[in-house]
Amino acid sequence: MLAKIYSYGIVGLDAYPVCIEVDVGRGLPSTTIVGLPDSAIRESRERVRAAIKNSGFDYASGRVTINLSPADTKKEGPSFDLAIALGILEATGQISSPLLRQYAILGELSLDGKIQPVRGALAIALSLPTSPLQGLILPQANAEESSIANQAAIYPVTSLQQVVYFLHNPETIKPFHVSTESLLNKINHYDIDFSDVHGQIHVKRGLEIAAAGSHNILLIGPPGSGKSMLAKRLPTILPDMTLDEALETTKIHSVMGLLKSHQSLVATRPFRSPHHTTSDVALVGGGSTPKPGEVTLSHNGVLFLDELPEFNRSCLESLRQPLEDRCVTISRAVKSLRFPAQFMFVASMNPCYCGQFGNPRVPCKCSSTQVQKYRAKISGPLLDRIDIHLDVPAVNYTELMGVRPAESSAQIKERVNQARAVQTERFRDDNACPANGGGTIANAQMSHRQVRKYCELGKEENDLLKQAMTELNFSARAHDKILKVSRTIADWTGSKEIKTEHLAEAIGYRSLDRDWWG
């Protein structure tokens, strides 16, 4: 007897429908799974066998053939266990319900028949509106996560027995619903704050400008000056995530299995800080079966690379494309996958090997050759893609023990939101027409055409920029970066025009361009 059950698989970050066909025929007892299953799916034969028996049903006594269609797409993970078990029960005549063909079914089975959570439930729920199926039967632990999509009826279950009973008595389980807006507001908070940081006023200003325009930033200073502490607090002053951003970010973390226990929505901006021993594939994504890397996991958030020169050179150079294109394209012989990578890039480093170069109080132990060798670990093209270079000096005792309260993240975020509101209005018409650079939400994302349109300079400002370009040998990319940062500073101060002081400050943030290679 033949049975058909519908489920979903994941390729990259997207879900695709899978038809599970189960045939039970005559022959010696055996179970064969075809359709390019991975080892986790092949092992499901034993999980499903034990779950069926321990749930009070009989396992097929003949030859069982299970086909996962489409057969030319590799299937991964244990999420097909529940669908396979139901297919075997129908093929052996132990259940008979027309509802089996009306739902997509997901779930990993324990040996006792309990249903365990799976990865990618939100991605699958978002794909259901394009299918003729009426809903999704999945583990109780994935119910809230998948229901935030508000795209399909979600039926949470806890055991194989409960699913069988529901298929014959559909009124026993009501569709699961959750208020996405209230959930977003409830969990949108951080445990850290800028008020924890004393001193470093000019560094905080630089970070605020970077947040206002979504600019990439590099922090340079001696050990213990607070570079990491400041970088970790950057997400707290970024604008709150929109519902679309939260859904997109949650989808990525769901597929990668990174959602914490009882976490159904990523409502705070991601902050990813990979170790300097990380590989190219771990950073940008890839592998024989392409998976997202750290740049995609930091989508809509911050990617922080501490001790930048300690990263492998090829690893750093692999960042060029995602920094420029805001996405990562992984090409293989069978297909190409594109992963989103819209993030703020924040890096930190010491000025030299010992970390004391330029410190007036502690002498540097490095020779000039060692200093140049250390700095040369960062290539000019990568440095060119960083908008703001900030010196972070050591904090003196008076500032460290100051009793005057530092400005909170909420106060800083208010000004950032005001600057972002100006940019939202500026790019409204452009975003309505994708051919004109649609998708621009901050100044750092402006195309060259938009820079020419929105960053016009007066004669005095143009002369200043020309002098800087000539004397400091800035590249064409640095020219556009300066104009973008100038535009952000003007927005931050409430000015419609880019003035000389705005441009001069933006040029000052390119300090490494004139000092690094000289």
Burial class from Cβ neighbours inside 10 Å (0-12, 13-18, 19+) for residue 466 reads exposed
Name the CA dihedral angle for 461, 448, 439, 282, rounded to a multiple of 10 degrees.
Answer: -110
Backbone angles phi, psi at 344, to 5 degrees: -90, 125
**Helix/strand/coil (H/E/C) assignment for every residue in 8-49:** EEEECCEEEEEEEEEEEECCCCEEEEECCECHHHHCHHHHHH
Residues 6+ apart with CB under 8 A from 428: none
Residue 50 in domain: yes
Counting the structural domains of the chain, the total is 1
The CATH number for 86's domain is: 3.30.230.10
Low-confidence ranges of the chain (pLDDT < 70): 397, 399-400, 402-403, 432-438, 513-518
Q: For residue 246, what are its two tokens?
A: 């939260």
Q: For residue 291, what are its two tokens?
A: 């998976």
What pLDDT, on a 0 to 100 scale, did the predictor assign at position 475?
A: 87
Residue type at position 111? L
- DSSP-assigned states of every residue in 140-178: GGGHHHHHTT-SSEEEEESBHHHHHHHHH-GGGSPPP--
Residues 6+ apart with CB under 8 A from 308: 218, 316, 347, 348, 349, 377, 378
Q: For residue 144, what are its two tokens?
A: 């809230």
Note down the domain range covering 127.
Answer: 2-178
Q: How far, in Å, CA of 40 to CA of 515, rounded? A: 54
Q: How far, in Å, CA of 337 to CA of 14, rounded? A: 10
Partnered with residue 9 across adjacent β-strands are 16
Q: For residue 184, what are its two tokens?
A: 């977003």
Residue 167 in domain: yes
Residue 409 in domain: no
- Measure CA 334 to chain center: 25
Residue 211 in domain: no
Residue 478 in domain: no
Residue 467 in domain: no
What pLDDT, on a 0 to 100 scale, did the predictor assign at position 516?
A: 46
Q: For residue 232, what are its two tokens?
A: 């970790």
Residue 26 in domain: yes
What pTM was estimated for this model as a whole?
Answer: 0.91
What pLDDT, on a 0 to 100 scale, did the predictor assign at position 517?
A: 42
Residue 46 in domain: yes
Backbone angles phi, psi at 328, to 5 degrees: -125, 130
